[in-house]
Amino acid sequence: MPVTIYDVAKRAGVSMATVSRVINGSPNVRPATRKKVLKVIEELGYRPNAVARGLASRRTTTIGVILPDISSVFFAELARGIEDIANMYDYDILISSSDANREKELSLIGSMLERQVEGILFLGGHLDDAHRRLFKTANVPVVLVATEDPEREFASVRIDLRRAAYDAVSFLLDRGHERVAFLTDPLHAPMARARYAGYVEALAERGRRVEEHLVVETHPYYERALKAMATLLALPEEKRPTAIFAASDELAIAAVHAVQDAGLSVPDDVEVVGFDNTRIAQMVRPMLTSVVQPMYDLGAVAMRLLTKFIRQEPVESRDVVLPHRIEFRASTRPRVGAP
């Protein structure tokens, strides 16, 4: 029923190969012929079938993106970075949320491979042997994004989470805080563990040990975190933290509010540092000091790297670590000598 390349060829009085050439912008077509074919394409409303093309050419111009949850601000922003670069290179994007569920991840990877994606971007999960095996039999390049792979077996684009946490905690410790709390989503997640490692390291380097009660593990939602922090702040003053490092901005905001609810002031009584520097960091009062994770760039750089692998271009590094920094705002006290 739909118009095919064959219909166009017949009507234009040329072979389908010529039509194919016109469609694909081959220079080897006489201008007059091209014009004629183009006219017929217009008349017939011909629209090339990308599936057939994909089968014949073995190029689908599609890449697969697997992420924990597209509705999370963090991954949505990352996805946008991926999309923009993909677009620039004429790739379309197949997106699926995995809920960081291993089985779902594996099944999604399989499904994308069946669809003959030309590359896979895998975000924010944890790799085990099954993942590795699948990726290795894939025959298409894979880039991990914002994903912890201790083995560094696959190409990846990320920030140094451990170091970022280390920097944030060091900043707080160096201001003289005796008790810096760490508010985090469950520590079984690899990204949470990386931050925890940085927290521990910053303490250790100063001859301090982790005080169990200052590490607050909670579900990564505002309401839950608020309650968890309320409990911590109800402690007597000599056990209560005077600074809080939170693993996300959402957790940090919960911390800020818990402090205020306890009748204390941010930043005068308690300083708070968040993570990710999402839009919301600037939309609360006091505005949040936050570790900047360049989400859009992570996505963009990863996608660019993937195109290089697909085109077999040389790449400088398979493990790209993007810089992080701390954006200082009002949830911490002004730094001496800061602009």
Partner DNA sequence: TTGAAAGCGCTAACAG
Partner DNA sequence: CTGTTAGCGCTTTCAA
What residues line the site for DNA (CB under 7 A)? 2, 4-6, 13-18, 20-21, 23-24, 27-30, 32-34, 46, 48-49, 52-53, 55-59
Stretch that binds a copy of itself, among 198-206, 231-239, 246-254, 269-277 (CB under 8 A): 246-254
Q: What is the DSSP string of 279-292?
A: GGGGSSSSPPEEEE
Give the footprint of a copy of itself on residues 300-339 (CB under 8 A).
none
As measured in angstroms, the least distance from the Cβ of 45 to a copy of itself is 6
Is 239:213 a contact under the CB 8 Å cutoff? Answer: yes
User: Does position 265 bind a copy of itself by CB under 8 A?
Assistant: no
Tokens 């109800």 found at: 234
Token readout for 195 is 């931050």
Encode 301-328: b = buried (16+ Cβ within 10 Å), e = exposed: bbbbbbbbbbeeeeeeeeebebebebeb
Counting contacts by CB under 8 A, is residue 260 touching a copy of itself? yes
> Angle 31-44/5-12 helices, nearest 10 degrees?
120
Closer to DNA by Cβ: residue 61 or 282: 61
Partner whose binding site includes residue 222, from DNA, a copy of itself, none (CB under 5 to 8 Å by kind): a copy of itself
13 by Cβ neighbours in 10 Å (0-12 / 13-18 / 19+) ranks as: exposed
> For a copy of itself, which is the closer residue by CB, 70 or 204?
70
Instruction: Decide which of a copy of itself, DNA, none touches 242; Cβ closer than 5 to 8 Å per partner kind.
Output: none
φ and ψ of 200, to 5 deg: -60, -45
Nearer to a copy of itself, 33 or 260 (CB): 260
CB 19, CB 33: distance < 8 Å = no
Q: Which of 97, 156, 277, 332 binds a copy of itself (CB under 8 A)?
A: 97
Among residues 9, 12, 72, 146, the one that binds a copy of itself under rule CB under 8 A: 72
Q: Which is nearer to DNA, 34 or 224 (CB)?
A: 34
